[in-house]
Amino acid sequence: MKTSPLILLPLVVLSIAGVAAKKVEPAKSVQGVYTQIVTDMDGKPAPLSAYAGKVAMIVNTASRCGFTPQYEGLQALQAKYRDKGFVVLGFPSNDFMWQEPGSNSEIKLFCQKNYKVDFPLFNKDHVKGSEKQALYKYLTEGPQAEFHGEIGWNFEKFLIGRDGRIVGRYKSGIAPDDGKLTGAIEAELGKAG
């Protein structure tokens, strides 16, 4: 029995329509802090877009500071919230009383040995003044004026929402386990990504 081409035509049209009806997920747009490119501890470019869609805490660090024990609390935050989409991003700096004199490899070893740090650490660089790295220029002088102002000391923290916008800034004296900070992290993690 021969099948007429006119009978097959509706089947072809239906199958093409089925392909066209498939939902295509839009690509996530990278915004805010996540547009920045920093340098990793090996001297290679590290686009922060790798963390887009996560809640992040950006913190300037030092190994010989009264706040250095905050590494332990930062690592605890990383461990507690990692599976929920949170990451700590550490940026060593020697800008405050020369409290981070080590090389990148020395800093990394110090953090792993003393605090079991496994969150990302980046190239030691300036976080204040005329030589501050582009990320910190964005954080302290960028489009969100409510967060403007120079970094005051080591271990100042910026909380970044999933969309790359700054949602909080916390001075060095605010410990990683402070309820104000953990509450803000949990609120951001509760928002849709």
pLDDT in tens, the chain (193 residues): 555 555 544 444 444 444 444 444 444 567 999 999 999 999 999 999 999 999 999 999 999 999 999 999 999 999 999 999 999 999 999 999 999 999 999 999 999 999 999 999 999 999 999 999 999 999 999 999 999 999 999 999 999 999 999 999 999 999 999 999 999 999 999 997 6
In this structure, the number of other CB atoms found within 10 A of the CB of residue 68 comes to 19
Residue 76's pLDDT is 98
Q: How far apart are the C-alpha atoms of 167 and 150, rounded to whole Å?
A: 17
Active-site residue identified among 31, 35, 53, 65: 65
Q: What are the distances in angstroms from CA 129 to CA 110, 112, 114?
A: 26, 29, 30
The two structure tokens encoding residue 142:
């960028």
Nearest to 155 by CA among 77, 49, 82, 57: 57
65 carries an active-site annotation: yes
Q: What's the pTM?
A: 0.85
**Residue with the two structure tokens 């960028």:** 142
Residue 26's pLDDT is 41
